[in-house]
Amino acid sequence: MNQQPATRSPFSNEIPGVKPGAFADEYSLMQELGRGTFSICRLCESRTTRKHYAVKIIDKSSHDCREEVEILLRYSNHPNIVSLYGVHEDPSYVYLVMELLKGGELLDRILAIQYMTEVEASAVLKTVVSSVAYLHEHGVVHRDLKPSNLLYASVNHTPESLKLCDLGFAKQLRADNGLLMTPCYTANFVAPEVLKKQGYDLACDIWSLGVLLYIMLDGKTPFASTPNDSPDMILAR
């Protein structure tokens, strides 16, 4: 019986840092933790240590995750950036095994208490700025800073335990690529220069930090937008 070749990803270059052996040989999959456009995050358990991790499972046919993996391999050693413990792949998916952050999203914290005191918001912002500044020092722009991409390691929601997650839009700036042109963003947090398509850089993250601070103190976004709004509609606000 002839065996059909496996379907290949359109992204032909190899994923960096891939470990030998199949993901399923080392981990057992458990319940879903979250879902994005190109990926699913699930709980997983090491078959040898029984320790729990979060695994981001990325569809290779829909999204090229090489940049995200490279950035995590280089910079996830910062105390406020989610740690990457392993990378596996098969013909269809890439598996990013990361630390399990048990305290939930900053977004859930804000929704639960409606808004923060200035003391708590200041402590949160200090922690987030620490991780963003570290990325910027190494020429990395995150491009999707928002409360749902910040998770607490501590169930007590201590600001110092917050970690920056989901670097799917992150980009390593290089001498040959100048200003970025691709409009990667979430509507409520996007900087104007991203929408104007005239080129943008690290400063787009600073705008998002300002929006984040506003939300923490007021409990709502300064610019009400929806995912279906056009760039012109968002800019008009």
Per-residue model confidence as pLDDT tens digits over 133-142? 999 999 999 9
Which pLDDT value is given to residue 130? 98
Same domain, 72 and 130: no
Residue 94 belongs to some domain of the structure: yes
Question: Does any domain span residue 1?
Answer: no
Q: What pLDDT was estimated at residue 170?
A: 94
Q: In the chain, which residues have pLDDT < 50?
A: 1-12
56 is in an annotated binding site: yes
Is residue 14 a part of any domain in this protein? Answer: no
Residues 129 and 229 in one domain: yes
CATH number, domain with residue 116: 1.10.510.10
The number of distinct structural domains making up the chain is 2
Domain-ending residue, one of 98, 124, 145: 98
Q: What is the pLDDT of residue 237?
A: 60
Residues 110 and 93 in one domain: no
Please pick, among 19, 59, 186, 201, the residue that the annotation labels catalytic. 186
Choose the final residue of a domain: 69, 98, 127.
Answer: 98
- Indicate whether 12 belongs to any domain: no
Cα 30 to Cα 121: distance, rounded to the nearest angstrom: 34
What order of strands is seen across the sheet that includes strand 27-35? 27-35, 39-46, 52-59, 93-98, 84-89
Closest CA to 216 of 112, 143, 101: 112
What is the reported pLDDT for 231?
A: 66
So what's the pLDDT on residue 11? Answer: 43
pTM of this structure? 0.86
CA distance 90 to 161: 33
Q: Residue 27 corresponds to which amino acid? A: Y
Residue 16 counted as domain residue: no
Q: Do residues 47 and 91 share a domain?
A: yes
The CA-based dihedral angle spanning residues 55, 23, 39, 99, taken in that order and rounded to the nearest 10 degrees: 10
Residue 9's pLDDT is: 44
Same structural domain, 63 and 149:
no
Judge if 147 and 86 occupy the same domain.
no
CATH of residue 57's domain is: 3.30.200.20
**Catalytic residue chosen out of the listed positions 60, 80, 127, 144:** 144
Expressed as residue numbers, the domain containing 35 is 23-98
Same structural domain for residues 94 and 118?
no
Q: How far apart are CA 225 and CA 130, in angstroms?
A: 28
Are 176 and 66 found together in one domain? no
The active-site residue, picked from 60, 146, 163, 171, is 146
Of the residues 72, 98, 124, the one at which a domain ends: 98
108 an active-site residue? no
Q: What is the pLDDT of residue 227?
A: 67
226 is catalytic: no
Respond yes or no: is residue 90 known to be catalytic.
no
- The question of whether 146 is a catalytic residue gets the answer yes
Co-location of 89 and 126 in the same domain? no
Long-range contacts from 205-214, C-beta under 8 angstroms, 24+ separation: 205/132, 205/136, 205/141, 205/142, 205/143, 205/145, 208/142, 208/144, 208/145, 208/146, 209/125, 209/128, 209/129, 209/132, 209/145, 212/125, 212/128, 212/145, 212/146, 212/147, 213/121, 213/125
